[in-house]
Amino acid sequence: MSGGARGLLITYTGRVNGPAYIEIFKDALTDFIENAFGPGNPNWVYMQDNAPPHTSKFAMKWLKDKNINVMKWPPSSPDLNPIENLWDNIDKKLRYLKPTNVTQLEQMIHDLWNKVSCQECQSLVDSMPRRIRQCIKARGNSFSKC
């Protein structure tokens, strides 16, 4: 997700470690970056949380080798990640839709993801200064998502 696009939703079944993480998204990430920012544009930063597959030596080396600038992420800080708000919105809609099996759940998630507008993504990114102020006010503790 960026300020102007939601990106591709990739579903994966199985255990995810560093190599699996990179394998899952490497082609999609390259395409997304070129479409969202233009080929060779260095004016973006990759944002990921501190999940072990994301911070594995394998994943970090791959990102470094591809000259992908990774934002340093504070531990336990989902409040600061715009995509967490997007997933929260999708989760609320899923609770209303009440899927009855995994296949239906996956289809509903993809359908809801494909309905996310560029404006919604931009709004979530634009909310970052407010979120950062809330985080500072909460002295780094959790705060209500906005």
Segment 52-103, tens digit of pLDDT: 999 999 999 999 999 899 998 887 777 788 888 899 999 999 999 999 999 9
Task: Give the span between the Cα atoms of 52 and 96, in whole angstroms.
Answer: 32
Local structure of 14: helix, strand or coil: coil
Per-residue confidence at 3, pLDDT binned at 50, 70, 90? confident
pLDDT at 111 > cutoff 90: yes
Of 48, 73, 98, which residue sits at a domain end?
73
Of 73, 108, 123, which residue sits at a domain end?
73
Is 58 in contact with 22 (CB distance < 8 Å)? Answer: yes
How many domains in the chain? 2
pTM score: 0.80
Of 73, 90, 114, which residue sits at a domain end?
73
What is the residue range of 114's domain? 77-146
- 85 shares a domain with 47: no
